[in-house]
Structure 1
Amino acid sequence: MPARSDARCAWLISDGFEPRNWMLALAPLVGWRADGATGVGWGLLAALFTSVLPSVVLRLGERRSYWSDRHVRQRRDRLVAGPVVLLSVITGTGLLYGLGATSAVCALVAAMVAVLLVLMVITFFWKVSVHCAVAAGALAVLASLHGPWWALSAPLVALIGWSRVRLGCHTVAQVAVGACVGAVVGGVAFALLR
């Protein structure tokens, strides 16, 4: 029974902290901190291109059997789904910059592009955890905005990593590399661009 309980807990963590949920919450929050209600509007536009549209694409791909599930667990399937998600995020980035959005929101989506590009390159050779990359990147952005105390939230990334390993979706190395890519690439890109 404990193994079944562990698996259920792992699914709840994995689904609750999936990449789309991070961006749905983070983009408006970054916008609010930078520019109040106007920033929230820009954050919602960013969330449309970094969370909502990619989720729709992943669901459609699952329904049409382009990949087995919305988490796109097979590395070869990620080579098909990844560029489509990346295209959505790049489009959103271009629109935000072109429309003169709040700089912090622009920096957030540009940092996401940087992380996704690195993850795509790695995916040609090896499967890496997007869950951990996005979570670690989001926490790095929050630390950049609100101070180093946010580093104390790092155990949350470890918990997400545990869930991915427990579900058999990744190895420990794959979640560790994902977390490092998200924190370093996402954190540095956001800090430089904002």
Structure 2
Amino acid sequence: MTVRTDTPPVTGPVWARVLSEVFAPWVIVIALSGAVAWRATQEALPTVLWGLLIALTSSVLPMGVIVWGARRGRWDGHHVRDRRGRLVPFVTLIVLSALCLGLLLAWEAPRMLVALDVAMLAALLVSGVITAWWKVSMHAAVAAGAVVILAAAYTAWVLPLLLVVASVCWSRVRLGDHTVAQVTVGTVLGIVVGGGVFVLAL
């Protein structure tokens, strides 16, 4: 089955495309999982094991499903630009993140790692509800949420990385994937829901 969509093909400056790929949600989640796992354990092996668990369930496996579906024409690419095609990826992410949370609790993971998964799950649920009727930028939400989470886990000195978030937002608008309103809402969602829930869950 091939998805028909009116979404225009991806065009734009090379730097916009580079930013969009380098700071894609799945890439950020992998890096964030390792960073928070290290802060929570301060040991190499636990960092690798816990980080791998969260990265697999919240990034690698869901991205595998998305790429598989895109190659079979179920949606319009690995960024799923057409809002109507985002239901299955969202459900996959939510189910796998919930599974990860159950494993983290069962295996008595450090509280900070549980807080990370809860924060990501909360952001997914809120953005999933919004996506039912409007397209919100997950690039912006994940990037902004990651900065706040790192600031809470490490130091407020990482907050200037919000300038990177702004550049990612620019890339999404420049490529025609989102409007200014969509990246703005995504950024607020990431900061308030993703970052806020993480802080509250610590």
Name the structure where helix makes up a greater proportion of residues. 1
Taking the aligned partners of 1:60 and 1:91, their CA distance within structure 2 comes to: 21
Taking the aligned partners of 1:85 and 1:183, their CA distance within structure 2 comes to: 19
The more displaced of 145-154 and 22-31 is: 145-154
- 1:39 Cα deviation after fit: 3.3
Which of 32, 38, 41 does residue 26 from structure 1 map onto?
32
Taking the aligned partners of 1:117 and 1:41, their CA distance within structure 2 comes to: 26
Tell me the residue number matched to 2:107. 99
Which of 44, 67, 81 does residue 52 from structure 2 map onto?
44
- 1:79 Cα deviation after fit: 2.2
- Where do residues 121-140 of structure 1 align in structure 2 (5 Å cutoff)? 121-140=129-148
Which of 120, 123, 128 does residue 128 from structure 2 map onto?
120
Which of 181, 198, 201 does residue 190 from structure 1 map onto?
198
**TM score, norm. by length of structure 2:** 0.90
Taking the aligned partners of 2:92 and 2:38, their CA distance within structure 1 comes to: 28
- 1:88 Cα deviation after fit: 1.4
The answer to whether the 8 A contact 1:136-1:179 is kept is: yes
Taking the aligned partners of 1:17 and 1:23, their CA distance within structure 2 comes to: 10
The answer to whether the 8 A contact 1:137-1:187 is kept is: yes
The answer to whether the 8 A contact 2:36-2:113 is kept is: yes
Taking the aligned partners of 1:90 and 1:170, their CA distance within structure 2 comes to: 28
Tell me the residue number matched to 1:86. 94
Taking the aligned partners of 1:93 and 1:70, their CA distance within structure 2 comes to: 25
The answer to whether the 8 A contact 1:29-1:40 is kept is: no
Tell me the residue number matched to 1:65. 73
Taking the aligned partners of 2:103 and 2:78, their CA distance within structure 1 comes to: 26
- 1:9 Cα deviation after fit: 0.8
The answer to whether the 8 A contact 1:39-1:102 is kept is: no
* Identical amino acids, percent of aligned pairs: 46
- 1:6 Cα deviation after fit: 5.6
Matched, 1:141 2:149: yes
Which consecutive aligned stretches of 4+ in structure 1 deviate over 3 angstroms post-superposition? none
Secondary structure of the 2:13 match is: helix
Matched, 1:172 2:180: yes
Taking the aligned partners of 2:97 and 2:64, their CA distance within structure 1 comes to: 13
Taking the aligned partners of 1:142 and 1:86, their CA distance within structure 2 comes to: 22
Secondary structure of the 1:32 match is: helix
Taking the aligned partners of 1:76 and 1:117, their CA distance within structure 2 comes to: 16
The answer to whether the 8 A contact 1:57-1:85 is kept is: no
Q: Which runs of 5+ in 1 are unaligned?
A: none
State the aligned residue count.
190
The answer to whether the 8 A contact 1:24-1:51 is kept is: yes
Taking the aligned partners of 2:52 and 2:156, their CA distance within structure 1 comes to: 26
